[in-house]
Every structure is written in C-alpha cells, then in structure tokens.
Chains A and B, each alone.
Chain A
Amino acid sequence: MEYVITSSALSKKYGKHKAVDEADINVPSGSVYGIIGKNGAGKTTLMRILCDLQRADGGEYTLFGVSSDDKKIKNERKRIGAMIEKPMLYPDMTAKENLRIQAEALGLPSFDPEELLKLVGLENTGRKTAGRFSFGMKQRLGIALALVGSPDIVFLDEPVNGLDPQGIVEIRELILRLNREQNITFVISSHFLDELSKIATDYCIMDSGRVVRQINANQLQSSFRKCFELTVTDTKALSVALDKMGLPYEIKDEKHAAIYEEFKISELVSNLSASGCELLTVREVDESLETYFLELTGGEINA
C-alpha cells in the first residue's frame, strides 16, 4: 500500500505535558483518514506538526516519501491544503478575493475562483465580505481555500463544526466526491464520530497524545460485535434463560437487555415462557464507531 504521509515516534511537549507522544501514523493514498480523540488527545497538534505550523520535539514524518528533515519537503507542501482549527480569512475581502489571494501566493494568477465557490455553495455571495459571513459560510470558504491549487492532500480540522444539518450533508458529499473523482487524500479530525464514520476509509484513534490504534473501515466493521437489544417483562427471568443458553449479555435495566451473539428466538421465547416472562421486542443493532472508541479509550466521548 502506498502511503502519502507516514510518521515515526513523532512527539511534541508543552512543558511536562506530552501533546503528541511518539505517534506513528500511516495515511494511505486516496483515503479519507479520520483522526478521533477526546479534547487534548493531540489531534490538532499532530495536524499542525504535519502542516509545518509547529515543530516536533522528536521523531520524524514523511510527505509523499520526502522526510521532514529534507529541505525538499517544501516542494511537497505545495501539494497540501488545510483548514486547521478555524478558517483563516481576510474579513474585509469577498470570498472571491480571498481565494484569489491564496491563488496568487501559490503562483496561479489565472486561477478562476468561480468553480471552487460553486463547489462549496458560496457562488452567490457577491460583494459580501468574509467578515459578514455566517460561521458555516466561513467554514465553507475555509474549505475552499484549502482546495486552491488542486492539492493532493487536504487536512480538515473539525470541518463540519458549526454547520447546519444540510451543510453537514453537503460538506460530506463534497469530501466524498473530491476523494472519489480527484483522488484527493483527506485527513480529517472530527468529534462527530457518526458523521466521520460515513466518510472515513481509515481511522486513527488517539488518546493522551498517543496513537492507540490505526484501523481501516473494513477491519473496523468486521471487529464490531453483533448486538440484539431486547425488551422483556422481567429481566431477572431473562438473565436465567440466557445463562442457561450460554449467551453473552448485558442487563440495561428492569425491562431492557442486550445480547452480543446470534441466538434462536424460538428457544429463547420457550425458555422465557417457562419462567412466565414475555419477550416484547427484539432489535438488531450494529456496534458503532462511538462504542468502539469508548472501549479503546474509556470514558465519554468529548472529542
């Protein structure tokens, strides 16, 4: 597999606090690489280091195979676009002017901003300056800025933050389209795990500065356990029946329970009726990215 970004023991300290602790990542070419972690897990710092906004204290990384210690990496950075933390805009300029400034800096004087503005849904902003944009519009313009110069890798830090549900869908579709049609590799951090799970092909799970696991979407899917949520009239009776059947389960409350293995409903119903318990509902639930994340890192999600 071809990796566009690799890192080895990448570290960054703030005083005694290890923001990034010997992080090893491998971003496959053409992937949508989702970075997940709680607040302070080191996601943004890792992205900032990769984007040269901060120097690492230790370790190294490569961009398109060129080492961070090699001066030639400057050339490879021209193939990168990013929106880290918040969109950096010129508030007294229009969306078009903002894009043109970035294009001029990249040496693209004949760049036409119309297409990009259309792509992010800002084609009708006219003379309105970026300072008067809503949060969502600023976010879209930030993404458009990251796309100036047709980069091969785009870093997006919380790209759907502040967007309305329709905006979230539009940005998701935009990322998927650019990824599929132009083979752009996306490195995305987001605390919307459900949203991220709809687009990511690969995941990097971070906790306390460390990369806890790297896993691709297929591996993740196959590692999920099957789960059946049951509603019964008496979970004590259910517990006895499930023990008898030798199934792994979890009692949620007096009426609800979860079984983590496939089972014969007829056998369960028969066992329950013997104890005078009635099975009311059965629902098959896939284990989510959120559950997987919590199992790995512990605690609540607050990415």
Chain B
Amino acid sequence: MLKLIRSALYRYMHSRFLYVSAALLTVSAVIFALYIRNRNGLSLYTFLAQNVILSILISITVSGEFCGCAKNKIICGSGRMQIFFSELLSAYIVVSAFFFINIALSAVLNTGFVSRLPGLLAFEVAAGFYLINLSLCSVFVFFSAVSGRKVLSVVLSVIFVFVSVIANGITEDLLRQPEYLIFYVSDKENEHISENGIIYEQDSGNLTEIKQKNPEYIGGAARAIILQLYKANPFYDITQYQNILTPYIYSDEKIEELSSVYSPGDPGYDNPTYRMRFVREETEEEQRFLYEALLYSLAVLVLSITAGALVFQKKKFN
C-alpha cells in the first residue's frame, strides 16, 4: 500500500494541476487570512472557492487513476481496496497540506484565526474545519469512483460543492418556517400585522390574536430528515463556526457596536436562528454544535468512503 501511496503522491507532485491549485489556494488563503485580520469575520466565499479548487484537483487526479490507469496496477497484483485507499490517503495528504498552509498563513499574517480563541475552542474549531475538509475530500474521491469519466467526476464534485451551499440556504429557510402563523387584527383600522410574530404597533386600537397553521411548515419525518441533511451539510457547519468565531475575531469596539443593535428583550434577541452572538463565551448550544459538527463530518466521511470502496470494488475497467 505504501508503494501505491508513493506512486499517487508522485502523480500529484508531477501534475501541473497541483501547482496551479496551490497558487490559487494560497491566494485564497491570503484573502481568507486578511479578511479575518481586517476583522470582517470568516469568509464563507473563500472556503467555497478553496473547496471548488480542491474538488477539481482531487477529482482530476483520482479519477485519472480510477477511470483506467488502476488497470496497470491490478494486473501487477495490487488489490482494488489497496488502490482505493491509497488514492484516498494520498488525497487526504494533499488536503491536509493545504489545510496546514492555511493555518500557517494565518499565523504568519497574524490574523488570530486560532490564537485569539480559548485553548479548547481553538482546537475544536481547527479539528472541525480539518474534518470538514477531509469529509469533502472523501466525497470527491467517491465521485471519482462512481463516474467512468474524468470530466464527469470533476463536474459532479464541483456541482456537489455548489449544491451544498444552495441546499444549506434552502434547508435553513424550510426549517425556519414557524409551525403557526399569528395574525393580529386591530378593531380600529382592521389591519393585519404579522412579521413572524413581531408586532409593530401602528395603531392605538385593540389587537386580537389569530393563530393559523403555516402551510409551508414541514413537520414529522420529513422535518427530521431535512434537519439531518441540514446538519450534515458542511456549509451549515461553516456558517455555525462563523457565528461562534465572530465575537473573537471582531475588535472590542465592533463587538460593543454590534451588541447595541440587539439587547435582551428585543424580539430578535431570543430567536436563536436570527441572533448573532457577540459575547465571548461558549454556550451549551455551541458546545453541542461543536460536538455534533465533528460527528456529522465523521458520518459523511465514513459514508462516502464506504460507498466509494463498494463501488470501486465492483467497477469494470474498460
């Protein structure tokens, strides 16, 4: 297996795609770092760009092997599982290298991406990000195992990244829908006022509450499934990490400024979906998220590896 890993790494090292990707990733890592240093929070777009670049690099390299050249190795006695896992581990090595370049660049540019966080939280966030990278990499390797053509596996991987971002927004919107819509009817002007339960006092008449089932609310098993998909989406994790990290990244002045927007008692303050945390302390909810994020990333990783290995075991080489 070590021989196959060396062979795969040789391919990465001698591929012009690696150097093009490295250049692009370094640029995006610098942007990512500067974005944080300028205290603008985490950039979801930089993360998206990095994963698009990685999806192309990994798919091109791995599918090149899975779509035919693996034949040369099978003939010489290498097992299919050995080939699959050597490709997977080599991809992990490349992704890890880029991950640590990101961290190193953050340190060099003194962004405080990790250093400003309390010890355990810093580790949890770094581990979370690392696992997201590995789970996405496993998905790209899975697509390479599934598709019979190099171009197809690249397209599938890139589409997956974009679909994940879009799906994150869609599922969030679906889950945000309240089960009941509450209307308030004024006896004076007969006006309906409803803004997701927030009442604006526009007249001086008496208001009567009318509670109606929200037709767009998804409940039962469908909700449970959507919720699991939402949580398994790597871009959900990124947005959550963004919320957790923001108070540590922003300056004291900025925190104070933002905190004054919402104060306890404000309607938006109690809504966890809307609320942005501007307090530098870890809540129970965040602790649960950090644990869940690792668990979901691990689940995506294990599922994609298992599916990829099963597909590759049965793959027909033309």
Contacts and interface: CB of A to CB of B under 8 A. Distances in A.
Contact of A81 (B15, B17, B75): B75
Nearest to A85: B318
A77 B76 contact: yes
Describe B's contact surface by its main secondary structure. helix
Contact of A100 (B10, B15, B79, B316): B10
Contacts of A188: none
B73 A105 contact: yes
Nearest to A78: B77
Given A53-B317, A104-B10, A90 B69 contact: yes
Interface stretch (B1-9, B166-174, B235-243): B1-9
Interface in B224-249: none
Interface residues of B, number: 25
A74 B79 contact: yes
Interface in A81-110: 81-82, 84-85, 88-93, 97, 100-102, 104-107, 109
Contact of B75 (A52, A97, A107): A52
Contacts of B316: 54
A97 B16 CA distance: 13
Nearest to B16: A92
B37 interface: no
B149 interface: no
A123 B14 CA distance: 19
B260 interface: no
B69 A88 contact: yes
Interface in B1-34: 3-4, 6-7, 10-11, 14-17
B76 A80 contact: yes
A89 B15 contact: no
Contacts of A89: 69
B7 to A, nearest CB: 4
A101 B7 contact: yes
A85 B71 CA distance: 11
B273 interface: no
Interface string A101-128: 1101111010000000000000000000
Interface in A229-268: none
Interface in B128-143: none
A106 B64 contact: no
Given A88-B72, A92-B15, A106-B3, A101 B77 contact: no
Given A97-B14, A101-B11, A105-B3, A90 B76 contact: no
B78 interface: yes
B279 interface: no
A239 to B, nearest CB: 53
Contacts of B78: 105
A52 B73 contact: no
Contacts of B3: 104-107
B6 A109 contact: yes
A223 interface: no
A102 B73 CA distance: 8
Contacts of A155: 75
A75 B73 CA distance: 13
* Closest 5 pairs between A and B when the two form their complex, measured CB to CB: A77-B77, A104-B7, A105-B7, A107-B3, A74-B77
Given A52-B75, A77-B75, 10 more contacts: A90-B64, A97-B14, A100-B10, A104-B10, A105-B4, A105-B72, A105-B73, A105-B78, A149-B76, A155-B75
26 contacts: A51-B74, A51-B75, A52-B74, A52-B75, A53-B75, A74-B77, A77-B76, A80-B75, A81-B75, A82-B72, A88-B72, A90-B64, A92-B16, A92-B17, A92-B64, A101-B7, A101-B69, A102-B7, A104-B6, A104-B7, A105-B3, A105-B4, A105-B7, A106-B76, A109-B6, A155-B75
